[in-house]
Each structure stands twice: as C-alpha cells, then as structure tokens.
Amino acid sequence: MLDRRTRYLQIAFNDDLLTAMRILATLPKDERILIEAGTPFIKREGMKGIRRLRWLWRHGIVADLKTTDGGSEEVEMVHQAGATAATVLGSCPTETIERFISECHSRSMDAIIDMLGVVDPLKVLRPLRTQPASVVVLHLGRDEESTRGKVIQYKHVTRIRSKYAVAIAAAGGVDLGGARTAIFNGANIVVANIVAPDKPWRGIPADSDVAGIAREFLATIE
C-alpha cells in the first residue's frame, strides 16, 4: 500500500508492451517509482500485459482502468494479473465507486479516484459511505493539454485534504517543471506519460534517456 508521507513518480505506459519492456529494463529499481499500465496499454495488451509488467517490476503497478461500471469485477481481474492499485472515474455512479473501493480494500490494493472531467471533487467524495480511497487524481486529460488556459486544478488540494486522509496525484502533461509545480502545490504523486516520438503530448519521450529523466524526477520530488 502507498505511504502518504512518500512522494512517488508514476510512469505511465500507453503504447505497446515491447516499448514498456525496453524502458523498464533501464529504470532504477526504486520503490518510489510506480509503473502504470495506461488505459490504451490495457486495451492493447489486456491482462497479459499487466502480468508482464508485474514480472518485470517488483514495486507498485497501477492499472489505469478508469472504471465506469462493474466496480468489483474489474478490480478482481487486475488484482489477479498483479496490479497493486487501480483507478475508477470520479464521474461514474457513486455505487460503482463504493464497490470499487471496497473491492480494492478487500484485496489490499490502493483505490484511486480519477477526477478527469470533474469540476468539484468534493461532490464526488461527500456521498461515499465506504472508507476513503487511497488516492485522488487531479487530472488534465491528454485531449485537453493543447487547450489554452486549461491547467491541473491544484486549488482542490487543500479542500480535499481538509476533509479526507488521501494522497493527491497530479496527471496531465507533467514534465520536470510540472513536477515541481505539483509538489509545491501539495501533490504526493506525479504522473508522467511515456510519449511516442510522433505524438504531440507532453511527458517523457520514449526515445530519450528515460532512466536518466526518471532520476531527475525523483530528485525533483524528493
């Protein structure tokens, strides 16, 4: 389970398994690095992709399911594949979030609520009758990155923390500068996407020295 006193770098793989395998072999074996099986990765590679990541990485594995329904079943699938954490969308029904969190806790997994597209996270958290999630993600979507004026809404960090004992993750075009901003604003986890050379998104280029950049991230958020 994640420690809220620790700052983590979450490296998200959204392309194919071969790219993930190549990069994982180079990364420092640091427990502060979480490996994310991104939503596109899971759609491409399925549970076998998560199993392979688990075999290659002995620390945290986040399955970015973005669950919208079937909160228990999807947690069960990724747990069996080796994930230590999974995500549910804050915009889905309260019943789904509650079942998702309960299933995660029963399997000693971290339940992560992704607030992608959510205007006020507290409106998602207040109705929940279960024990709180482990992590709340303040998320600027990849399709939103190029929209002028759209940024990760750090104004919610204090509001959430004043009521809930959860870790806060920042996701969405986070580079080294963005990591500094995230930590300054109180985030515990910074999520950096591995970005293919032909894609316009911000993150860590797949053809760069990912291990070296990861070490820079770790030093920045320490």
Asked if the structure places residue 82 within a domain, the reply is: yes
Contact criterion met (CB below 8 Å) for 122 and 138: no
Query: What pLDDT score does 72 carry?
Result: 94
Distance CA 180, CA 152 (A): 13
The pTM of this model reads: 0.96
Output Rg (C-alpha) for the chain, integer angstroms.
Answer: 16
Could you give the number of structural domains in the chain? 1
139 beta partners: 171
- Domain membership flag for residue 180: yes
How distant, in Å, are the alpha carbons of 32, 96, 154, 181 from that of 69? 30, 6, 27, 33
Task: Tell me the pLDDT band of 6, cut-offs 50, 70 and 90.
Answer: very high
* Inside any domain, residue 171: yes
Question: Range of 115's domain?
Answer: 8-221
Mean pLDDT taken over the chain:
95
Residue 120 lies in a domain: yes
Instruction: Please check whether residue 46 lies inside any domain of the structure.
Output: yes
Where residue 3 falls among pLDDT bands split at 50, 70, 90? Answer: very high
28-43 pLDDT, tens digit each:
999 999 999 999 999 9
Q: Is residue 2 part of a domain?
A: no
CATH of the domain at 65: 3.20.20.70
Query: Looking at the domain assignment, is residue 73 inside a domain?
Result: yes
pLDDT at 84 over 80: yes
**Has residue 93 got a pLDDT over 90?**
yes
Name the DSSP letter for residue 107: T
pLDDT tens-digit map of 181-217: 999 999 999 999 999 988 888 899 999 999 999 999 9
DSSP label of 184: H
Instruction: List b or e across 128-159, with b for residues whose CB sees 16 or more CB atoms inside 10 angstroms.
Output: eeeebbbbbbbbbebeebeeeeeebbbebbee
CB of 100 within 8 A of CB of 72? Answer: yes
- pLDDT tens, residue by residue, 102-131: 999 999 999 999 999 999 999 999 999 988
| Residue 1 is assigned to a structural domain of this protein | no
